[in-house]
Structure 1
């Protein structure tokens, strides 16, 4: 009896399930893109408000490091043991990850009920050889890959393992209709591949959603949004703190560029700088 006719109801049900899964994936992607858009707007606002101050602070830190290097070298030339402070790390302006583009679904087999008998094992072997033979390789890496694949094909053919041979052909991109015969089996295989593809994409979207919600900028966005709803201005507080740090670094740079390489003040200045740079990196300065 024709397997395609028997499977018609099952195929229709699987198609409906696939469409429902695709709609769910589309909703999940839409939620991700909406969240990503909100966070992207917040990051742009963050950079526009604080970016120039961070750049100015980084420039001062770099100048201060150069001054302390000169001072430490001069102290050592005078016979005084002096360590050079750690180099400052430039402030990394925030970035947020993008969702990679989804791969296309496998092409659907020919429409309609097609009654094709399954090809013989020898036919399958010949098709596998046409697709995977090393002589068709474009480069050495491709040749090695094909040699490995043909070893598996030869083993499957020698052991008359039709299931394994079919799987190798499908993995190589062969049309399922030409591998398993009748259209129903080919459609079942296509639906399975589509379902796996959509489910894989769904896992990728959900993983990126979790990563986005765990991103430090997402946490900051939520905190600032809550504060602004209470009438507070967190960004202004952050700007003031940065301006205060900039003023401190300017004063420190002014002193560092004018200190003489002598015991006492110069050594104390370097010690404080080393302690601060160690603290800023979260390490022991000793």
Structure 2
């Protein structure tokens, strides 16, 4: 029985298709890395322009939270029902998605496609006996297993069941070429596995590209690039806004650290802080 799992023409066609798929996947990876590098360049500009201001604002928010939390505790100690404001969230540095390393493809079976005349049924039987005969057992457990296998070999040979003999020989570790006269199945399995690996890698790359294009930094980069083309300077506007917020928080902190719980302004100050932190949490 000649193995017709894959022909020589089919092998070359599948090899060519696999090569095309690998090139396309590599192109997609390069496209992702190029876009990521451009967005990362913008992220560096963004951090250089605004990073220190965000750190200062975070520090002020933390101090202000401590002051208002202490104020709320003092009000509760005085018998006044007062909630503490939500804790501020630190500004996280932008992190872009990064491709995980790929998996190396398995090596192609050597010698290309081998097609020989398949061995006779008697030859297969002799090879099975050489591999599975109980006299070659190393232990009693091994002998018992071999006896069971040889019983199946004898049954297959008596019934001229070549397919069953091939299955038993392959399970015993015989070279597929020595069993069927061809390594077509091994080549087909190799191609199938390679194609699955490359297709899986392609899905990973495309998923990461989708994540990158919807990332807030990608969207901000596009918006700022369009504004800069028009001669605007959005990063300076954002920096000025942050400095204004820093000034407001400093003033808030100055007041919050000096308010007395028994003053009429304490509850109103705490209420405004709770409202602002709740609004900030709902927009994140």
- Offset at 1:274? 0.6
Q: Is the partner of 1:82 in helix, strand or coil?
A: coil
Deviations 1:147-172 (A, max 9, x none): xxxxxxxxxxxxx9x89xx8xx99xx
Report the TM-score when normalising by structure 2: 0.76
The answer for unaligned runs of 5 or more in structure 2 is 133-160
Structure 2 CA distance for aligned equivalents of residues 52 and 222 of structure 1: 23
Q: Which residue does the alignment assign to 1:184?
A: 184
Structure 2 CA distance for aligned equivalents of residues 232 and 176 of structure 1: 70
Structure 2 CA distance for aligned equivalents of residues 43 and 92 of structure 1: 12
Structure 1 CA distance for aligned equivalents of residues 65 and 113 of structure 2: 76
Change (3 A) 1:6 1:250: closer
Q: Which residue does the alignment assign to 2:265?
A: 265
What is the aligned residue count? 241
- Offset at 1:56? 0.4
Alignment of structure 1 residues 98-137 onto 2, 5 Å? 98-115=98-115
Structure 2 CA distance for aligned equivalents of residues 60 and 67 of structure 1: 11
Q: Is the 8 A contact 2:88 2:277 kept in 1?
A: yes
Asked if 1:215 is matched to 2:223, the reply is: no
- Offset at 1:91? 1.0
The answer for unaligned runs of 5 or more in structure 1 is 127-159
Change (3 A) 1:42 1:6: closer
Q: Which residue does the alignment assign to 1:194?
A: 194
Deviation larger for 76-85 or 239-248: 76-85
Q: CA RMSD in A?
A: 3.3
Change (3 A) 1:206 1:179: farther
Deviation larger for 111-120 or 70-79: 111-120
Change (3 A) 1:220 1:176: farther
Q: Which structure has the greater CA radius of gyration? A: 2
Q: Which residue does the alignment assign to 2:82?
A: 82
Asked if 1:56 is matched to 2:56, the reply is: yes
